Amino acid sequence: MEASIEDLRLWMDWAADGVPSRSAQREAFRRGEAAFEEGTEFGYVLRELATDELVGGCALLPRVGPGGIEIGYWVRSDRHHRGYATAAARALTAAAFEWLPEVDVVEIHVDEANHASARIPAKLGYQPERREQRPRRAAGQTGTFVIWVMRRQNWEATFS
């Protein structure tokens, strides 16, 4: 995370103050583990097979309402353009539709200025369905978020 803090500041409000303390990081992992055990959020770390180094994280987040779930992801700045985010989003999309029968739609929310992040849902066949105005919470954000959507029937028709 330390290697990516400058990039993360552009998009994530929690990164504005720099790298979180060790205790804050431990607390975030504790909350994440508890949410996973409760079945309310499903967060994962991404590790590089060759080195076992942490290269990012991803999650299924139930914050889009009934029948939907959101995917979030980040990859360390020095590991961009290696396919980690695309592989993570593909795996989480498949998992959402396979393990969560109540989920009919998976969304990826991307600030319109975050072109690198927007390439991920586009590669996977997600469609930009709508735009939402939100308060700007990080330096790089425009406040306009593109909501990329994958519907169960489209995923199954393409990837089954």
Give domain limits for the chain.
2-159
Report whether pLDDT(17) > 90.
no
Report whether pLDDT(114) > 80.
yes
| pLDDT, mean of residues 121-127 | 97
pLDDT value at position 7? 74
pLDDT value at position 116? 92
- The hierarchical CATH code for the domain 2-159 is 3.40.630.30
Query: Rounded to an integer, what distance in angstroms lies between the CA atom of residue 3 and that of residue 102?
Result: 38
Instruction: Give the pLDDT confidence of 50-88 residue by residue, as tens digits.
Output: 999 999 999 999 999 999 999 999 998 899 999 999 999
CA atoms within 13 A on the CB side of 96: 34
Query: Rounded to an integer, what distance in angstroms lies between the CA atom of residue 72 and that of residue 109?
Result: 8
Smallest CA-to-CA distance from 45 within 63, 33, 62, 35 is with 33
pLDDT value at position 137? 82
> pLDDT averaged over the chain?
90
Report whether pLDDT(5) > 90.
no
pLDDT value at position 20? 73
